[in-house]
Structure 1
Amino acid sequence: MMTTRRNFLYLLSASTVVTWLGSANPPVWAAPAIATTATTGEFKLPPLTYDYNALEPHIDAKTMKFHHDNHHATYVKNLNAAIAKYPQLKPKTVEELLTNLGTLPKDIQTTVRNNGGGHFNHTMFWQIMGPKAGGAPTGAIATAIKSQFGTFDTFKTQFNDAGTKLFGSGWVWLINDKSKLKIVTTSNQDSPIFQGLYPIMGNDVWEHAYYLTYQNRRPEYLSAWWNVINWTEVNRRFERSLTA
């Protein structure tokens, strides 16, 4: 897991399905970071904490290796290249960059949005999955989901429906919006933090996340993904959000 200079942040979420694109300059949130710069001033690719084949048969080893070692690594490489042009930005965390896009030099804003967002999103993605995981949630997140949605099955149906209906590439998220759980979607590598909202969990619905096994059957992938969710990690994020 990636070393950070701050503690990890995670907030609650879920209720209605909302689709939006992040704005360039949302409210700044002072909170612990999820993925930050290393002490060298460069972002690093966080290693997986499990083997590439650990999520099979739901996510195959070849997809995991290519997704992590190529796609995520490219986001990190491109982000570092952009930041290298402006040394004063090197101490910034990825959250600080993404929540203040409008203040960055214009020639790197799009690069930081796309690649910083990809780095931020995937860092969380690897952490909320794991082997011998899945099943129904327990603990505080289970209580919150039941309170907001009625049942876990209802929540799953709404989450999967949002991911299925998202046109093109993007993410489906469980987020917190003013202490209210919501399901939202973002396009490309946009993130809820662009709006000052806090992701508890999110599923990558870019085709590279599932195509080798599921081809164009995104709903099948979304359904299978629940078998690899690390609810312990999701609960940790949720519980930390209550005192953040």
Structure 2
Amino acid sequence: MQMNRRHVLALSGAAAATILFAPAIRARAAAPFKQPELPYAEGGLAPVISARTVGLHYGKHHAGYFKKLNTLVDKTPYADLPLEEVVVRAKKDGDTAIFNNAAQAWNHNLYWQQFKGGSAAPKGAFLQAIEKDFGGFDELKKKMTAEGDNVFGTGWVWLVKDGDKLSIAGMQDAGDPLAEGKKALLGIDVWEHAYYLDYENRRPEHVAAVLGKLVNWEFVGEQFQA
């Protein structure tokens, strides 16, 4: 089959368009959930959490949950929902794989944000609630550390607002208060990837150090007031 000059030009143009627009097409085809930027440098939490741990935790584990979630929700009704709704609905509907990845994506979003700005003490109405429900700030930290050690295997320890009351909840794997209709104010990751490079099997030491030296309690108080 012979091709005239017009055919050649048309095909060349189509090929060029494919090359030029292929990245955009791939971007549109990717699922909608995007991992937020880390709000500080990877070394910004050292020495409590090393840059190496942050790099692996954020760059591999957290990123991996988003990647897997986007694959799972592609061409499903979940793809059009906010991440929080995906967590709640997937839990309710028993879509375990989607829940696990959506919850872990959401859990880590809060996890990284709660350290932004550095350590700060609770104050105001939030501090009053801590004193009422735990007997003081030091008692809250002790109880969260103990609960973090009680979580068997992998999971999270959460500071939760349920109505007008604060409570502590240890949850396994991807479990979070959001899926139970409660408000998560603070979450400490007790999966081994969060601490093992720095603390080996000394999980309580890690939790205590994070609570005492990294958490921006002003940020947590803002979640309490919201």
Aligned to 2:156, which of 134, 146, 171? 171
Note if 1:181 corresponds to 2:171: no
1:114 aligns with 2:103: no
Shift of 1:89: 2.6
Cα deviation 1:19-49 (Å, max 9, x = unaligned): xxxxxxxxxxxxxxxxxxx9x8610011111
Runs (5+) with no aligned partner, structure 1: 1-37
2:84 corresponds to: 95
Partner of 2:68: 78
CA distance in 2, matches of 1:67, 1:117: 15
SS in 2 for 1:90: helix
Correspondence for 1:191 among 167, 173, 176: 176
User: How far apart, in 2, do the equivalents of 1:63 and 1:196 lie?
Assistant: 31
**What is the CA distance between 1:102 and its match in structure 2?**
5.9
CA positional deviation for 1:77: 0.5
Is the CA contact 1:174–1:183 (under 8 Å) kept in the aligned structure 2? Answer: yes
TM-score by length of 1: 0.76
Distance 1:125 1:220 in 2: 18
Q: Which amino acid aligns with 1:94?
A: L
The 3 A distance-change label for structure 1 pair 208 and 191 is same
Tell me, in whole angstroms, the C-alpha distance in 1 between the residues paired with 2:90 and 2:204: 33
The structure showing larger relative contact order (alpha-carbon pairs under 8 Å, at least 6 residues apart) is 1
Partner of 1:141: 126
Equivalences for 1:24-35 in 2 at 5 Å? Answer: none
Corresponding residue of 1:237: 223
Mapped partners of 2:33, 2:119: distance in 1: 29
Deviation of 1:103 after TM superposition, in Å, equals: 6.4
Calculate the TM-score normalised by the size of structure 2.
0.82
Helix, strand or coil: the match of 2:201? Answer: coil
Residue of structure 2 equivalent to 1:228? 214
* CA RMSD of superposed structures (Å): 1.8
- The structure that has the greater radius of gyration is 2
Amino acid at match of 1:224: A
**Partner Cα distance (1:221, 1:103) in 2:** 33
Which consecutive segments of 4 or more residues in structure 1 shift more than 3 A?
none
Query: How many residue pairs get matched?
Result: 197
In the alignment, the residues of structure 2 paired with residue 132 and residue 110 of structure 1 have an alpha-carbon distance, to the nearest angstrom, of 35
Task: Report % sequence identity.
Answer: 38
Q: CA deviation at 1:178?
A: 2.5
Secondary structure of 2:80's aligned partner: coil
